[in-house]
Amino acid sequence: MSITPETVLETLRRSADPEKASALSDRAGRSEALGVPPQVLENFAREWRQEVGFPDRLDLARALWAEPVFEASLMAAKLLTQARISDDTAVWDQICTWISEAETWAELDVLAGAGARRIAVDLSRMAVVHDLAKSERALDRRAALGLSLPLAKLAHPTEDEVSAIDDVLYWLTYALQDPDKDVSRMADSWLKSLGKHDRKRASMVRRVVQSRTNDR
């Protein structure tokens, strides 16, 4: 069976759970929530990634993002979540565009997961992350943390990756004190991930934040 936007939406609607949809209504923004269980979404995404290659998969994802359905937006991002993509410039550009359009934390977190894989193959893309970290929009600041999170989890980073981590730590000290609690909590999780294998840097960040707090 050909995988089209119509067949994807039909499949998602068949997997809908009205009770879960009601619980998701506040998180879905202006979109219709179907209440498809997260693991079901992930299973479909894995299957469709295998069946649809690029550039057709990017076209499919774009069509799904345009639909006013919460799970369709999540699926669009999941379809682009892949470690190795040949000539991924268009995919990276699309993820960045969608981050600026995202209206919910759930959409943003899936997009960050997809974008982080593109950063892993081209660290120069961290420039976009640093710009997001300075944004006035809380969703963008959270995106910066999600996009850079895999760096915090590297047990044996390369020299270039260590440099990228240090660049993040500069603004992470401010993210830890972000007035938006969703951002500050994610910043704290980012630092805890780093601290599991790099206590020295994690402790340094904590000291900077504490010093700044004491000076107020």
Question: What average pLDDT does the chain have?
Answer: 95
Q: What is the mean pLDDT of residues 65-85?
A: 97
pLDDT number for residue 150: 97
pLDDT at 1 over 90: no
Comparison of pLDDT for 6 and 30, the residue scoring more: 6
Handedness of CA 35, 36, 41, 47 (dihedral sign): negative
Q: How confident is the model at residue 213 (pLDDT cuts 50, 70, 90)?
A: confident
| Alpha-carbon separation of residue 19 from 38, 41, 119, 156, 195 (angstroms) | 14, 16, 37, 44, 39
Q: What is the mean pLDDT of residues 36-48?
A: 97
Q: What is the mean pLDDT of residues 164-173?
A: 98
Lowest mean pLDDT across 53-67, 123-137, 157-171, 201-215: 201-215
Residue type, 1: M
Tokens 């069946």 correspond to: 51
pLDDT at 48 over 80: yes
pLDDT number for residue 31: 83
pLDDT at 216 over 70: no
pLDDT at 40 over 80: yes
Q: Can you tell me the distance from the alpha carbon of 62 to that of 71, in angstroms, rounded to the nearest whole number?
A: 13
pLDDT number for residue 24: 83
pLDDT at 61 over 80: yes
